[in-house]
Amino acid sequence: MPDSSPPPSPNSPWENGWTPDSSRTPGTRRLYLAGALAIATIAACVTAIVVTDKQTDDTSRTKRADPSALPGADGPGLLSFASPSKQGTPTPDEHTSTAVKTPSATASAAAAENSSKPSAKTPSPSKSTSSNGSSSGSSGSSGSSGSSGSSSSTTWKSVRSVNYPDRYWQVNDGLVKLNPVSSTAARRAATFKLVKGLAKSSCYSFATADGTYLRHRNFILRAERNDGSALFKQDATFCPRTSSTSGAVMLESVNYPGRYLRHQNFQLKLDRYQNSSQYRSDSAFRLVAGLN
């Protein structure tokens, strides 16, 4: 009778009596697959890291090669470059005072200042009447014409104060004072020969009848003999300037510009210009006909 028993199951070797294949470790196929996947994953990670490092290195090299590149949004690295300082021409408001004068205001201020100062234009001596009622003019052969900077050396004049019209320049003990004239001797001492300036021909020098000249020394006006020195000539030369009083002059020192003859306590002296009515009155004089 034929054997009808089924063949042994390959999955039940122990039950059916057959010997399994022991030449291959069970589960190695799965291990091979897992290992291959792990190797592929590692290779992909390594590749990604290499590419990323290369890009970062290229970016850093580019930044180092261009020092002018400023840090971006990702922030500065260990070495960063400072921002360039702001330079250039400052705006007008940076150095301009808030109280800037307009051109019109500046011109007005300059005009007002100039109007208060004596003019450099050389005036002619006034032809006013002397205290004895005679008309002004030079005595003797000089005639009645007024003198200018180039006046004749024979022009005799007296110098009368504007704010003390009864007082004249007068030599008294070698000094020049502002005194009234009440005698023949006083009238003679108050009369001077007006000549061209010893140091500047367009200006004036004052000589007395006895041959001395009026000069300033220590800023005090006095009568002294001409020693022929350059200093004496400069001290004895005065340039006429137009006064704020009509017909009057101010006398400026040739070697001390800005200082004018004025009377103070009736003493004639050389004083620096002051923008005041008192100074302008004390330094204003009229050149009138000689009293002698």
- Whole-number Å distance between alpha carbons of 255 and 72: 72
Question: Encoding tokens for residue 48?
Answer: 């990604």
pLDDT of 91: 43
Please state the separation of Cα 119 from the chain's center in Å: 26
Spans of the chain, pLDDT less than 50:
65, 68-80, 82-83, 85-86, 88-107, 109-112, 124-153
pLDDT in tens, 228-253: 999 999 999 999 999 999 999 999 99
Beta-bridged to residue 214, according to DSSP, are 223
| Phi, psi dihedrals of residue 156, rounded to the nearest 5° | -100, 130
pLDDT of 12: 57
pLDDT of 128: 39
Planar angle of CA 251, 192, 175, nearest 5 degrees: 75
Give the residue carrying structure tokens 């100062």.
117
- Whole-number Å distance between alpha carbons of 253 and 83: 63
